[in-house]
A and B are shown apart, each in its own frame.
Chain A
Amino acid sequence: MLVLALDTSTPAVVVGIIDTDQESPLAERFVINPRGHGELLTPLIQEIVAEAGLTMSRLDAVVCGTGPGPFTSLRVGMVTGASIADALGKPVYPVCSLDAIGVAAAEVDDLLVITDARRKELYWARYHRGVRVAGPAVGKPEDVRVPGVVLAGHVASLYAEPWELPDRGIEYPTTATLVAAAGDALLTGAEPGEMVPLYLRKPDAVEPGARKSVIQA
């Protein structure tokens, strides 16, 4: 089965094509550019399709990271994934982006995946041998910190030292881990779940209060 995987929940644009019968992807790209997801994503997909010697119509499914992540770039990836799948008439499988890091450390008993949520906060989830046992959620670093865990995620290296915790050194989702996180649903062709972005925060909007007077006192 030929699968296009993509994730835009972190500063990286991650795209790849994998044949599920093989270990390594046919082609993939990894570009760190937190403000360029919208411009980069589709051309990168076009590149890997060509590099893999394929056409879009050969793809059997799409796997798409659903965050949590900064909203605008997360949306770019999810809308792209959903639109490609719609145009192909093929399913799109949503995957929590943190799961695509968690599955990569399946040997770890207690893994804490953290990514940058901006506003001095972290997105996080905890994994036992690759299976999510808590989260995803968002919180202040001091509330996210847990003793005795192993860290992963692209900001783990920033917290490993002050928190005195080991860093597993897995920073971002990859083609292979996104597909692995999609699991049996993808491989058996089960009905995919809904493509709902994991924002974990409400929109910043305040209902207006009383009007200010325009007449000077």
Chain B
Amino acid sequence: MTVVLGIETSCDETGVGLVRDGVLLGDALSSSMAEHARFGGVVPEIAARAHVAAVVPCVNEALTRSGLSLNDVGAIAVTSGPGLATALHVGVAAAKAYAMTLGVPLYGVHHLAGHAAADTLEHGPLPAKSIVLIVSGGHTSLLLVNDLVLDPVVHLSDTLDDAAGEAFDKVARILGLSYPGGPAIDKVSRDGDPHAVKLPRPLTGPRDPKLGFSFSGLKTAVARHVEAEQKAGRELAVADIAASFQEAVADTLTRKAILACRLHDVSTLVVVGGVAANSRVRSLAAERCAAAGIELRVPPMRLCTDNGAMIAAVGDLLVRAEAKPASLSLATHPSIELTWAQLDRSVAEVLQNQ
């Protein structure tokens, strides 16, 4: 059995994880989130600088937690896209250097495939067919996943503009709440009425793309409401606005995720990404899945947000599928769509072992 070391540096988290045969052996995470807070969002250069300082210490910490040494590592997997270009370069450079020096194979992994694989570390292998809703600060995507590493992933939809998590951040700022916006809005919403402010459910009209997402207009609707209230001299009902916004996001996300399951005759929904931590997204997903007879899988929080373990999980699947490793000239792909879990491979190569 091969121990796979996974490295993730696509955004503001430096993550390293070790996985063998579907089992997480140990991981380490270093976040630069606090350094970005005053800018209201992730600053690529700040993130990249933090990765440089963190990547080697994270490798060693993950090994220590696993009770392993570098000599036990049999393969390296790394997020080679999509993500912030300058941040991706750090992880890819580290992965290549470790792979070359240790003389072990290297695999370039699609970040979103990592998110889809995260749940396997907690709840075991994915079924033959599943719908994966990835909802984070950088992504809002619905995927139809068959075999995660052997079959192409069908990208059902992406957000047309802001990711859901990004909308949480922006609305939090409008309401004077802290960054990151997700936890802040979740907290104040507990005291709010989710039906107090009438907000749109984006892309749910008859002529809209059935599975499409868009959150920019929803954010603007909140801003308009806030400005109108301020203009009228009324005190902002922050909890009510936050709760109404959160309800609109949770309603849209879960409605479309369930619809995707129905349209593709799939009975398992996997919800991953930072926004999966939102209590209303979780409770509404659970409620609607139960009503629709769909099994809902949500990994624990530490596996929902960006981490190295999920990348190691994909690497582990690739190793077990006897996929062909990448070369040491592996490139970064800052904006590549998810078709194959493994990047920098031709379709023919992926299929060679099927």
- A residues neighboring B (CB under 8 Å): 38-43, 45-46, 56, 71-72, 75-84, 86-88, 197, 199, 203-208, 211, 213-215
Contact = CB atoms under 8 A, between A and B. Distances in A.
Interface stretch (B84-92, B186-194, B197-205): B84-92
Interface residues of B, number: 43
Contacts of B103: 56
Given A38-B89, A72-B48, A211 B174 contact: yes
A-side interface mostly: helix
20 contacts: A38-B92, A38-B331, A43-B328, A71-B86, A75-B49, A76-B89, A79-B52, A79-B90, A80-B94, A83-B97, A84-B100, A87-B102, A197-B52, A205-B39, A205-B45, A205-B46, A208-B39, A211-B223, A213-B227, A214-B220
Contacts of A86: 56, 59-60, 70, 98
B49 A199 contact: yes
A154 to B, nearest CB: 22
Given A56-B101, A71-B45, A203-B43, 12 more contacts: A39-B329, A75-B86, A78-B52, A80-B97, A81-B97, A86-B70, A86-B98, A197-B52, A199-B49, A204-B45, A205-B43, A205-B45
Interface in B80-120: 85-86, 89-90, 92-94, 96-98, 100-103
Contacts of B48: 71-72, 75
Contacts of A81: 97
A40 B329 CA distance: 6
Contacts, number: 117
B331 A83 contact: no
Nearest to B73: A87
B224 interface: yes
Contacts of B327: 43
Contacts of B154: none
Contacts of B234: none
Interface in B43-70: 43, 45-46, 48-49, 51-52, 55-56, 59-60, 70
A211 B39 contact: no
- What 3 A-B pairs are tightest by C-beta distance, nearest first? A83-B97, A87-B101, A203-B45
B40 interface: yes
B89 A203 contact: no
